[in-house]
Structure 1
Amino acid sequence: MTLLVMVPPQRESTAGWAERLMAEVPGLTVARPSAEDAAWALREADAAYGVLPVESLAATTRLRWFQAQQAGPPPGFYYPELVAHPVVVTNMRDTYTDHVATHTLSLVLALCRGLPRYIRDQQTASWNPDWDPEAIVSLSEATALVVGVGALGTEIGRLLAAFGTRVTGIDVRPSARPGFADVLPVEALDEQLPLADLVILTVPHTPDTEGMIDARRLKLLKASAYFVNVGRGPTVQLDALDAALAAGQLRGAALDVFETEPLPDDHPLWRRPEVLITPHVAGVGPHEAERRFAVLLDNARRFVAGDTLINVVDKSKWF
């Protein structure tokens, strides 16, 4: 028998998963131990699901597969001991691409149509229409730069292209994508930033992307550009972004993820009228738990059968 341990604590949405996995995958035993019994269970585990702290990894003796419960786990997930361990790590990428892409388009449309201003006016019952054509960004005449063209970036580009937007991508593995005029290597980022009316960041948090949007790169943006981050918070230096907005180096921003979460209530970005903030909710939507279960089930079947797993992570790069 193959033993998979669901490492505590587990989300309420995973209740019943152990029984379902065992019913669907002959030869698989699934344990859902308490926190007190986790180390004992992990000693015999062939596979694990959830978050595996360094002390829990040290308790294992035969672990060969570890399924992360997120597409982009939080900072510290890929610690040195895990990277060095022979265990194969898989993640949950592409389980809520449609939700995040829809949220991203909501942010883009709100910025381009000036909705943050009107939302503020609504709070004070102020009838204050702005008829200046320059107050609006026409997507049919705009250029968007999508930084990170995985499943999420590809879907965002496809949706933007439907509005007539010219979409360029930047990716570590550049290749043609539907809706994109071009997808370029990372080395082209600095030359592309000054050309974009919209810069949309979808990249995961990795050693290479941490702090990639800094004061130097923010100075490369058009003063009329909007910046959107729906990837991971540590990729953007928030104080540098606030300073750039204060200096008029860009037109505005929309953020769903932050360098520090929750965003401290005294951070000046909360009070910037040209900034739209949502509290890391872009992935919210129906069927999220079932989609994650489907990935776990598929990989459990493959693991027991000795087949190649899906969503395998390059641990040294964290994605």
Structure 2
Amino acid sequence: MKVVMEPMPSGIGPGESPDVFFKEMQATFPEVQFVEVSEEADQIREVEDAEVYYGWPSRDVFLAGKDLKWIHCPGTGIDQHMAIPELVASDIPITNAREPHVAPMADHVFGFIIVLAHKLHWMWNDQKAKSWRMYDYGWKQLDLEGSTLGILAMGNIGRAVAKRAQGFSMKVYACDKFPRPSEYAEEVWGMDRLDDLLAISDWLVVTAPITDETRGMIGKEQLQKMKQGSHMIIISRGGIVDEFALGEAIESEHLAGAGVDAFDPEPPVPNNPLWDNPNVVMSPHASAFTPGLYIGRRNVFKENFRRYLAGEPFLYVCDKTLGY
């Protein structure tokens, strides 16, 4: 049996060799042939007789894999996989490593919220300038207790965000394609009540996957329906919120600010208005990059590979109809 693996440079810990996980898989499953390749031409050559692919294959790589029986996405989003129509139409399962991302991404949401609520980004600039402006912050910080946090998509990340919001005594409401009650939310509505969620949220957190349904879901019209002085947090995927319309809404002071980790495209274009807005905090799609994420990713693939060899059901099988 042969497995083709893409190298994961960002998944290498301090002091680890670049092929640490590749060698770990070889040592754990010595009877299996593992091949690690990064260039597309090499991937096309090696995948011809492989059963398993670990990574994000291009369409040409996928089509060359005549014997492929399973593809594992080391991350959460499978939008690149969904862009291959032959893969979507096939019976080849796609699994991902969704669970290790949940806690750090939910933590990052509250990093954004606390920075924006207490103007820590402004204070950081004051520190660099050696400027002491204590009284300039009077009435500019926000109370989280009693405020309303809205969540767009109550999946694993949405639920983790809602759980953390309880520690700040926030009221939580959510919209989801498949709504069901949550112990961490006052109510979870269907998507037909998105406008209601926009209207009541002091903090709107986007945790939805990028699909045909969610792409462009929040544009100028929806932003104008948001509560005056509210904030937007984008943590899942770019392309769901119109970033130029978001910049305009903040510039006009209809919205107070935003925390954004995911963009479309990435990196953002130079004229993206979010770059220079003092009320926007940006991070480079790096909200989950903790040691626990990388170790968790490795463990998910190792466990799923053990299950594959044993003929047992996979963890975290993606729905190619829904796109996640």
What TM-score results when the alignment is normalised by the length of structure 2? 0.90
Q: Name the SS for the 2:100 alignment partner.
A: coil
- How far did 1:26 drift? 7.0
- How far did 1:255 drift? 0.9
**How do 1:239-258 and structure 2 match up within 5 A?**
239-258=244-263
- How far did 1:126 drift? 3.3
- For 1:293, which of 290, 298, 304 is the aligned residue? 298
**Residues 5 and 75 of structure 1: is their aligned pair in 2 closer, same or farther, counting only changes over 3 Å?**
closer
- How far did 1:73 drift? 4.4
CA distance in 1: counterparts of 2:307 and 2:109, whole angstroms = 34
**Residues 27 and 9 of structure 1: is their aligned pair in 2 closer, same or farther, counting only changes over 3 Å?**
closer
- How far did 1:54 drift? 0.8
CA distance in 1: counterparts of 2:153 and 2:4, whole angstroms = 33
- For 2:86, which of 62, 81, 85 is the aligned residue? 81
**How do 1:268-307 and structure 2 match up within 5 A?**
268-307=273-312
**Contact (CA 8 Å) 1:97, 1:151: kept in 2 or not?**
yes
**Contact (CA 8 Å) 1:146, 1:202: kept in 2 or not?**
yes
Give the equivalent residue in structure 1 for 2:181: 176
Give the equivalent residue in structure 1 for 2:35: 31
Q: How many residues align?
A: 316
What is the letter of the counterpart of residue 39 of structure 1?
A: I
- Stretch deviating more after TM superposition (57-66 or 77-86): 77-86
Q: Name the SS for the 2:233 alignment partner.
A: strand
**Contact (CA 8 Å) 1:157, 1:179: kept in 2 or not?**
yes
Give the equivalent residue in structure 2 for 1:46: 51
Aligned sequence identity (%): 27
The root-mean-square deviation of aligned C-alpha atoms, in Å, is: 2.2
- Stretch deviating more after TM superposition (208-217 or 172-181): 172-181
- How far did 1:269 drift? 1.7
Give the equivalent residue in structure 2 for 1:259: 264
Give the equivalent residue in structure 1 for 2:241: 236
Q: 1:53-94 CA deviation, whole Å, 9 max, x = no partner?
A: 111111112211100121114657532222112210111111
Give the equivalent residue in structure 1 for 2:24: 20
What is the letter of the counterpart of residue 117 of structure 1?
A: W
Unaligned runs of 5+ in 2: 13-17
What is the letter of the counterpart of residue 4 of structure 1?
A: V
Give the equivalent residue in structure 2 for 1:3: 2
Q: 1:33-71 CA deviation, whole Å, 9 max, x = no partner?
A: 464543233122111111111111111122111001211
CA distance in 1: counterparts of 2:258 and 2:38, whole angstroms = 43
**Residues 198 and 83 of structure 1: is their aligned pair in 2 closer, same or farther, counting only changes over 3 Å?**
same
**Contact (CA 8 Å) 2:232, 2:258: kept in 1 or not?**
yes
What TM-score results when the alignment is normalised by the length of structure 1? 0.91
What is the letter of the counterpart of residue 73 of structure 2?
A: A
- For 1:159, which of 164, 168, 173 is the aligned residue? 164
- For 2:71, which of 66, 72, 95 is the aligned residue? 66
**Contact (CA 8 Å) 1:78, 1:318: kept in 2 or not?**
no
- How far did 1:232 drift? 0.7
CA distance in 2: counterparts of 1:46 and 1:302, whole angstroms = 14
- How far did 1:316 drift? 3.1
Establish whether residue 127 from structure 1 lines up as the match of residue 126 from structure 2.
no
